[in-house]
Amino acid sequence: MASAPGVFSFRRSNRSISEGTMEIELSDLQEQRRLKAEELREQGFDPYPTRAKRTHTTAEALAGFERAEAAGSETGGETITLAGRVVSRRHMGKTLFSHIRDGHGELQLYIRKDEIGEEAYNRALKLFDLGDWVQASGETFRTKTGEVSLRTADLTILSKALNAPPEKWHGLQDKEIRYRQRYADLIANEEVRRVFATRSKIVSAIRRFFDGLDYIEVETPTLQPLYGGAAARPFTTHHNALDQIFYLRIADELYLKRLIVGGFERVYEICKDFRNEGVDRNHSPEFTMLEFYEAFADYTTMMDRVESMVTFAAQEALGSTSFVWQGHEIDLANPKPWPRITLREAILEWSGVDYVQYPDQESLQAAARAAGAKIETGTVWPRIVDEMLKQFVRPNLIQPTFLIDYPVELSPLAKRKPDDPTHVERFQPYIGGGEIGNSFTELNDPMDQLDRFLEQMKDRDAGDEEAMPLDTDFVNALMYGMPPTGGVGIGIDRLTMLLTDQSTIRDVILFPAMRNLPSGTGPLSFGLPDDDDDDAGESDDE
RNA sequence: GACUCCGUAGCUCAACGGCAGAGCAGCGGACUUUUAAUCCGUUGGUUCUGGGUUCGAAUCCCAGCGGGGUCACCA
């Protein structure tokens, strides 16, 4: 789908570009529809009127009819007005059947020539198309085949569509058009509408959950002078007036902990994080993260929070705590509570290797390889542990499971276990073979934190581009004193994938990042004067 | 970034070295309770772009562009 993707592309115009105007040649189908809009205008009907006068949604119309029918009536008993997009049309001589869809469902219009008049009937037949928005008035009734329909007495256009909707039976399949022109995908594919409606319910349920626990929702910087809180490469940008580099945040963790220092006891934020890394079915350069921090809590408290929150979100969004993910039946409420196993036990169980027995890189690498892991030579010790987790353990964690207690080397912001300083109080919730978050008892010893940052700087000097930079202001904040605190990050996209049974992160992001099309090949790009460069972005203030 | 598959009408897809097709949508017609309505007729193409091989290329080769998948990195 390279040159001119799909549904809504326009052809190159052969006409020359006259000064100050653009010449766009519409496709045959688009031109037909444009002419129909003109014809409507000539007949005195604005194809794009300013206002609609809907009295009922399709869902309300249906419910109203069923109430009247239960009371013994054969009609809805009142004249109502619906508004919606034409999604199907079947005409049979002097009768026209057409379904319209609004944000609440679909309803069939039953249009008879002898009831709305010859002129109006011919207008509906000849000038209205699939995809148009229309408004219809009449009374509801049930057809011979049993479908509740609107006996249409009046039908007007609300918005003439120039692009035809995609194929009615197969929908829109081309993934590139589906992602680039999500509006077309939403029109064509009901499943897609369901996924994004569910995503919205998940997010609002999460807010209700934390609001109910007296958390406050806060907003921290997206543009950060120094990035941190995760191991990742950032996007870099530049502020003109300040003449300064800013980084797009890779996490909000360090700011949220500053707020705990400041005295807020419970804070959460749902925001976009940006990581300048590879793109695949589990990673998007821009993704949505929930982070929440709670004073006087530790990671065991936070496990309770995660379990309750995820279960609540599922119940609210799906109406159930059980669902199917990629063929696996998963129930968030069983077992309860979710099992908690240490990383060490898990790796031992599924690989036979007890990594604490191999404290140096060479011996652990040999043991991991002997157990069947693929480990590249030169992989540092903590990475080998991480690899063993990915290769041996993760695929087995289908039912909800907390993996707890990670080696300190993997977790520069987490607090050491009191009885084992080589490990930190950290957990990751796994469901469906994937991790949906990360959490720990937060490190609040400023001097230990400074040491960890310095360790990271060594890694950085050794070439690890993802090692965290030293954030002296954050250390300074900790020097004011942060109470014992538990913190969690949950990937909203991943959680949504899980609860909507989507295997690709792009299918839960409305407008996923895509490579630019070559100039002159996108919709409406032909004949457009070239973008006028330099001062375009700078001259306008506010 | 590497490997691999894909790109044909508005959409869904055929044709795989020999005249570029079908279904849906569209257009014209029949039909006053249809449900992917049915029936008759019909319009519509830079086969992603640029080279090459060949008597002949949508098809084979090379390069580019865009997308999917796998791997690497990461959450």
Residue A519 has pLDDT above 80, yes or no: no
For A450-479, the pLDDT digits (tens) are: 998 998 888 788 777 778 899 999 999 999
Of A424, A372, A380, give the one whose Cα is nearest residue A403. Answer: A424
A92: helix, strand or coil: strand
Whole-number pLDDT of residue A309: 98
For A337-364, the pLDDT digits (tens) are: 999 999 999 999 999 999 999 988 889 9
Judged by C1' against the alpha carbon of A177, the nearest nucleotide is B67
pLDDT-derived band at A524 (thresholds 50, 70, 90) equals: low
What does the alpha-carbon distance between residue A502 and residue A326 come to, in Å, rounded to a whole number?
Answer: 8
> Which nucleotides of chain B have an atom under 7 angstroms from any protein CB?
1, 7-8, 10-13, 23-28, 30-37, 43-44, 46, 48-49, 64-75
CA of A125, C1' of B45: distance in angstroms: 29
Q: Is the CB of A123 under 7 A from strand B?
A: no
Q: Is the CB of A280 under 7 A from strand B?
A: yes
pLDDT-derived band at A520 (thresholds 50, 70, 90) equals: low
Residue A537 has pLDDT above 50, yes or no: no
Whole-number pLDDT of residue A257: 97
Query: Cα dihedral sign for A304, A309, A315, A320?
Result: negative
Mean pLDDT of chain A: 89
Whole-number pLDDT of residue A511: 94
Of A46, A32, A196, give the one whose Cα is nearest residue A129. Answer: A32
Can you point out the beta strands (E) in A371-469? 401-407, 416-417, 420-431, 434-435, 437-441
Question: Which residue stretches of A75-174 are H helix?
Answer: 113-116, 118-127
- Would you say A314 and A323 are in contact if contact means Cβ atoms under 8 Å apart? yes
CA of A130, C1' of B39: distance in angstroms: 22
Whole-number pLDDT of residue A24: 67
Q: Is the CB of A264 under 7 A from strand B?
A: no
CA of A155, C1' of B40: distance in angstroms: 30
What does the alpha-carbon distance between residue A366 and residue A353 come to, in Å, rounded to a whole number?
Answer: 11
For A392-446, the pLDDT digits (tens) are: 999 889 999 999 999 988 888 889 999 999 999 999 999 998 899 999 999 999 9
Q: What is the CA radius of gyration of chain A?
A: 29
What lies within 8 Å, CB to CB, of A225 at 6+ separation is A244, A245, A246, A247
Whole-number pLDDT of residue A534: 31
Q: Is the CB of A283 under 7 A from strand B?
A: yes
For A325-343, the pLDDT digits (tens) are: 988 999 999 888 999 999 9
Judged by C1' against the alpha carbon of A284, the nearest nucleotide is B75
The whole-number average pLDDT for the span A248-274 is 97
For A501-518, the pLDDT digits (tens) are: 999 999 999 999 998 887
Of A281, A304, A285, A284, give the one whose Cα is nearest residue A294. Answer: A304
Whole-number pLDDT of residue A225: 94
For chain A, percent of residues with pLDDT exceeding 90:
75
Judged by C1' against the alpha carbon of A494, the nearest nucleotide is B75
Whole-number pLDDT of residue A83: 98
CA of A92, C1' of B19: distance in angstroms: 38
CA of A183, C1' of B25: distance in angstroms: 19
For chain A, percent of residues with pLDDT exceeding 70:
91
Whole-number pLDDT of residue A197: 96
What does the alpha-carbon distance between residue A520 and residue A476 come to, in Å, rounded to a whole number?
Answer: 52
Residue nearest to nucleotide B44 (CA to C1'): A28
Whole-model pTM: value is 0.91
Q: Is the CB of A320 under 7 A from strand B?
A: no
Residue with tokens 């404290």: A359
Whole-number pLDDT of residue A418: 94
Judged by C1' against the alpha carbon of A1, the nearest nucleotide is B7
Residue A418: count other Cβ atoms within 10 Å of its Cβ: 7
Residue with tokens 């918005």: A159
Whole-number pLDDT of residue A536: 33
Instruction: Determine how β-strand A266-274 pairs with β-strand A286-295.
Output: antiparallel
Q: Is the CB of A35 under 7 A from strand B?
A: no
What does the alpha-carbon distance between residue A261 and residue A263 come to, in Å, rounded to a whole number?
Answer: 5
The enclosing H or E element of A311 equals: helix A299-318
* Residues (179-198, chain A) with CB within 7 Å of strand B atoms: 179
pLDDT-derived band at A156 (thresholds 50, 70, 90) equals: very high
A434: helix, strand or coil: strand
The enclosing H or E element of A48 equals: none
For A1-49, the pLDDT digits (tens) are: 333 333 433 333 333 333 334 556 788 899 999 999 999 999 999 999 9
CA of A394, C1' of B3: distance in angstroms: 25
Which tops the pLDDT comparison, A120 or A372? A120
Q: Is the CB of A122 under 7 A from strand B?
A: no
CA of A194, C1' of B47: distance in angstroms: 35
Residue A195 has pLDDT above 70, yes or no: yes
A221: helix, strand or coil: coil
What does the alpha-carbon distance between residue A444 and residue A483 come to, in Å, rounded to a whole number?
Answer: 7
